[in-house]
């Protein structure tokens, strides 16, 4: 035994032992639910006893955006992100390689894909299917599960805090110096139909979750942010906050009894008790150190900001990021996958606040996209014992997403400006 998760070469695989958990744009997550045996479950004594494995299954997507050609996730985490984020907050991955058509994993993946297909959201099924012939898959700890403690189910919280920064570079929109992109974007999403000014009052806007509060290092402001997340989750679940138990996302109304038992709370005080437990965990010295590091890297990697980055791109390449062709492979600075060494070299530098050369532009683009990964990461937090947080969803962002970021920035800024003018 020893280190966990261990190397998994040669272990038997049964599709019946794995259950669908969740998925993102590029991967599906399944967790082990079979008999509690090594190496699928950590059976060694200690604080991590009972932890279980999860697998990240790559998808074949029907759109054009892909991470093919980008560094493998383990190398990206080990060589790039670990230079920016404390290692204890980053996931440990084991790569399972196999040859499609000859490996025992081939029938396993084919059967597993068939088993979990009915549990996948319709929108995800329409966007892509599970790749049953990849060159490798990833094994990691399942952070949606914690073993019961003294017979009581343990809760985990997943938070996608988003960027806890405002624009610090040149901008034509002063609103971006006062409000986070998350809150400005939420105004845009609140529009009843395209082009309509959202019917959101200033009072309602002030009550919304604010990443600036979450990353403030001030307990009162962190508590305010957590309360807003809990209220959103209880009233209309969003992807910024979820509560999990035994690998399952909980529903506030349907799972009140379980929530009350795990939190030792009454129904009346449930939201307050949950918010307090999350706040206590986030405010631990270890977690505050990690969060302070995350937001500092968000600010540093953002550099001059997307608006100035787009201006300098056009000035140096002669092409518009917002309105240029979708095929960027033949532009002066192609948005093709950078080799791992380019990422490694970039993180040793700071973004150029005044971009004067194509080399500076290239480095600043890479750093901005690394920052985009950190801004979009999710935090897993176990309530109660072992409160240290862990980051997931750390794949490198395709450089081709830069065009979409520029277009989003323009449309979000325009809509928020209309809403702000109407609510002066």
Does residue 168 lie within any of the structural domains? no
CB 68 within 8 A of CB 26: no
Task: Report yes or no on 124 lying in a domain.
Answer: yes
Residue 87, domain member (yes or no): yes
23 within domain boundaries: yes
Which H or E run includes 112? Answer: helix 105-116
Structure tokens at 15: 């599709």
Domain range for 135: 15-141
Place of tokens 């990422």: 343
Q: What is the pLDDT of residue 262?
A: 92
State the CATH number of the domain containing residue 36: 3.30.200.110
Res 50: pLDDT: 85
pLDDT given at position 328: 54
Specify whether the CB–CB gap between 67 and 33 falls below 8 A. no
Two tokens at 153? 């189910």
Annotate 399-420 with b (16+ C-beta within 10 A) or e (fewer): bbebbebbeebeebbebbbbbb
Helix, strand, coil percentages, rounded to 5, for the chain: 40, 15, 45
- The confidence score (pLDDT) of residue 68 equals 67
Give backbone dihedrals phi and psi of 372, rounded to 5 degrees, phi first: -65, -35
Token pair of 47, please?
A: 């604080």
DSSP-derived secondary structure letter, 298: H
> Which is nearest to 240 in space by CA: 416, 404, 391, 379?
379
95 neighbors 77 (Cβ within 8 angstroms): no
Q: With respect to residue 384, please indicate whether it lies within any of the assigned structural domains.
A: no
Task: Enumerate residue ranges in the chain where pLDDT < 70.
Answer: 1-2, 62-68, 100-103, 324-332, 385-387
DSSP H or E segment with residue 128:
strand 128-130
245 CA to centre of own chain: 19
Q: Give a yes or no: residue 65 inside a domain.
A: yes
Question: What does the DSSP assignment read for 254-280?
Answer: TTHHHHHHHHT--STTHHHHHHHHHHH
Residue 252 lies in a domain: no
214 within some domain: no
φ, ψ for residue 59, nearest 5 deg: -110, 150
Tokens standing for 191? 């529009």
In the beta sheet, which residues pair with residue 139? Answer: 55, 94
Residue 196, both tokens: 């309509």
Domains in the chain: how many in total? 1
Q: Any bridge partners for residue 19, and if so which? A: 31
pLDDT score of 385:
65
- Pairs from 321-324 (Cβ < 8 Å, separation ≥ 24): 321/402, 321/403, 321/406, 322/403, 322/406, 322/407, 322/410, 324/403
Q: Which of 36, 7, 41, 33 is nearest to 115 (CA)?
A: 33
User: What is the number of other CB atoms lying within 10 angstroms of the CB of residue 95?
Assistant: 16
Q: How far apart are CA 96 and CA 354, in angstroms?
A: 44
């Amino acid at each position: 035994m020893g280190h966990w998760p261990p190397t998994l070469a040669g272990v038997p695989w049964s599709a019946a032992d794995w259950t669908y958990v969740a998925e993102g744009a590029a991967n599906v997550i399944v967790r082990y639910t079979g008999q509690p045996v090594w190496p699928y479950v950590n059976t060694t004594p200690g604080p991590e006893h009972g932890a279980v494995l999860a697998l990240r299954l790559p998808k074949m997507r029907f759109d054009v955006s892909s991470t093919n050609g980008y560094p493998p996730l383990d190398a990206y985490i080990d060589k790039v992100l670990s230079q920016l984020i404390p290692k204890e907050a980053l996931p440990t991955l084991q790569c399972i390689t196999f040859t499609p058509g000859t490996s025992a994993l081939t029938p396993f993946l084919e059967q597993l894909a068939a088993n979990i297909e009915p549990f996948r959201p319709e929108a995800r099924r329409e966007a892509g299917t599970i790749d049953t012939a990849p060159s490798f898959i990833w094994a990691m700890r399942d952070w949606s599960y914690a073993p019961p403690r003294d017979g009581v189910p343990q809760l985990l919280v997943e938070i996608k805090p988003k960027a806890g920064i405002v624009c610090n570079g040149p901008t034509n929109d002063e609103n971006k110096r006062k409000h986070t992109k998350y809150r400005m974007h939420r105004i845009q999403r609140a529009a009843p139909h395209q082009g309509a000014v959202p019917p959101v009052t200033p009072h309602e806007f002030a009550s919304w979750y604010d990443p600036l509060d979450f990353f403030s290092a001030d307990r009162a402001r962190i508590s305010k942010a957590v309360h807003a997340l809990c209220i959103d989750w209880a009233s209309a679940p969003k992807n910024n906050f979820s509560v999990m138990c035994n690998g399952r996302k909980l529903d506030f109304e349907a799972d009140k009894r379980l929530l009350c038992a795990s939190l030792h709370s009454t129904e009346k005080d449930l939201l307050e008790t949950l918010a307090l437990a999350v706040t206590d965990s986030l405010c631990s010295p270890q977690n505050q150190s990690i969060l302070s590091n995350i937001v500092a890297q968000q600010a540093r990697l953002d550099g001059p900001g997307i608006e100035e980055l787009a201006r300098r791109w056009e000035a140096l390449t002669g092409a518009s990021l917002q309105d240029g062709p979708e095929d960027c492979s033949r532009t002066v600075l192609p948005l093709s996958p950078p080799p791992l060494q380019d990422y490694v070299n970039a993180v040793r530098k700071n973004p150029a606040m005044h971009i004067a050369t194509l080399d500076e532009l290239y480095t600043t683009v890479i750093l901005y996209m690394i920052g985009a990964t950190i801004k979009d990461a999710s935090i897993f937090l176990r309530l109660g014992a072992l409160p240290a947080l862990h980051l997931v969803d750390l794949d490198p962002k395709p450089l081709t997403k830069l065009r979409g970021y520029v277009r989003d920035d323009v449309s979000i800024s325009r809509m928020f400006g209309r809403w702000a003018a109407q609510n002066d």
